[in-house]
């Protein structure tokens, strides 16, 4: 009996490890996922990792160059801006805002769009017509312009940015999930489930949704990258959170004004923004290949 009790948890661990093998074999998932996990840890422990207070101004330390350049001041590894604020510390704290917006906004957009896409692709009829027309109307508006308009109406702030992104980008999930649901509903396993006598609701949630999940997960990762870009754009034009708060888009806007005197104020947050968006895109493509059994063949 003791051997059975010990072997049970081992069997569960082995099964979970085997389920992770396709992910670990995909280089894009490993490298992009590792970068994003590291970035998330840096954001979580920002108060302990950041070398300086990101809001502290010291005009005596203004426009200091990064390490390796003449005039570098110890402790200011990526230099300072024109107000003497540490660039590295502001990038680290800016990751908190970027990742918070990307996670919450993408999750809300994915939830709304996936539910509507599943209902549209499975029940069809008037449900499909209403959702499809709504998606067509919503996608006729330029997304960036609509996000700026929504935030301007609701007022600047983190909550407004998240709501605006979720309201705009649910259509992407709805269209893709609808198409995937339509494709899955015509396969043999759905016909078999109907022949057995399963209800339509049971088939949708227990049979179709698990097969559509890889697409939703991949889209969620891609959407998080888009959310980072949208938040940066809104910060760039001053419609995100307070202008004093460290955001990557706000740092890019500030660095653009002092590019010729302090190029590092623009370059470092821009590189961080580019690397983060690229990581989300690579992760999304890697997850699709690793989780979709058709793509793995």
CA 82 – CA 258 distance, rounded (Å): 8
pLDDT band at 18 (very low <50, low <70, confident <90, very high): low
**Does residue 295 register a pLDDT over 60?**
no
Instruction: Collect all residues with Cβ–Cβ distance below 8 Å to 292 and sequence separation of at least 6.
Output: 214, 215
Q: Classify residue 247 by its DSSP letter.
A: -
**Residue 278: what pLDDT?**
94
Q: Classify residue 61 by its DSSP letter.
A: G
CA 17 – CA 12 distance, rounded (Å): 9
Q: Give the number of other CB atoms < 10 A from CB of residue 107.
A: 16
Tokens of 16: 């979970």
Structure confidence by residue, pLDDT tens digits, 123-171: 888 988 999 899 888 888 777 778 878 887 787 778 888 888 888 889 9
CA 192 – CA 8 distance, rounded (Å): 33
Domain ranges of the chain: 27-296
Q: Domain 27-296 classified CATH 1.10.3720.10? A: yes
Are 171 and 112 within 8 A, CB to CB? Answer: no
Q: Which of 291, 220, 286 is nearest to 28 (CA)?
A: 286
**Residue 19: what pLDDT?**
57
pLDDT band at 243 (very low <50, low <70, confident <90, very high): low
Tokens of 21: 């093998």
Structure confidence by residue, pLDDT tens digits, 244-257: 778 898 889 888 88
Q: How far is CA 37 from CA 40, 85, 99, 167, 287, in A?
A: 5, 26, 11, 27, 15
End-to-end CA distance of the chain: 41
Q: Is 63 strand, coil or helix?
A: coil
pTM: 0.85
Are 232 and 56 within 8 A, CB to CB? Answer: no
CA 92 – CA 138 distance, rounded (Å): 35
Structure confidence by residue, pLDDT tens digits, 40-70: 999 999 999 999 889 888 888 888 899 888 8
Q: How far is CA 94 from CA 121, 157, 273, in A?
A: 39, 14, 10
Q: Report, as an integer, the average pLDDT of 269-292.
A: 87
């Amino acid at each position: 009996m003791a051997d059975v009790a010990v072997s049970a948890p081992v069997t569960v661990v082995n099964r979970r490890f085997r389920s992770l093998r396709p992910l670990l074999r995909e280089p894009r998932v490993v490298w992009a996922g590792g970068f994003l996990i590291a970035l998330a840890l840096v954001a979580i422990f920002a108060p302990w990792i950041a070398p300086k207070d990101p809001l502290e101004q010291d005009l005596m330390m203004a426009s200091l160059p990064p390490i390796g350049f003449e005039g570098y001041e110890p402790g200011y590894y990526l230099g300072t801006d024109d107000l003497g604020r540490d660039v590295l510390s502001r990038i680290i704290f800016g990751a908190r805002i970027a990742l918070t917006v990307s996670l919450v906004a993408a999750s809300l957009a994915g939830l709304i769009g996936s539910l509507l896409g599943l209902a549209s692709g499975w029940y069809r009829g008037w449900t499909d017509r209403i959702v499809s027309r709504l998606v067509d109307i919503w996608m006729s508006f330029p997304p960036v312009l609509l996000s700026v308009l929504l935030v301007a109406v609701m007022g600047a702030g983190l909550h407004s940015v998240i709501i605006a992104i979720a309201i705009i980008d649910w259509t992407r999930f709805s269209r893709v999930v609808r198409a995937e649901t339509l494709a899955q509903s015509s396969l043999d396993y759905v016909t078999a489930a109907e022949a057995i006598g399963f209800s339509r609701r049971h088939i949708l949630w227990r049979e179709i949704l698990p097969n559509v999940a890889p697409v939703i997960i991949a889209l969620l990762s891609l959407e998080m990258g888009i959310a980072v870009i949208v938040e940066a754009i809104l910060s760039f034009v001053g419609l995100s959170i307070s202008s004093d708060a460290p955001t990557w888009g706000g740092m890019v806007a500030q660095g653009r004004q002092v590019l010729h005197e302090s190029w590092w104020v623009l370059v470092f947050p821009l590189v961080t923004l580019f690397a983060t968006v690229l990581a989300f895109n690579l992760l999304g493509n890697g997850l699709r290949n690793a989780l979709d059994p058709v793509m793995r063949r």
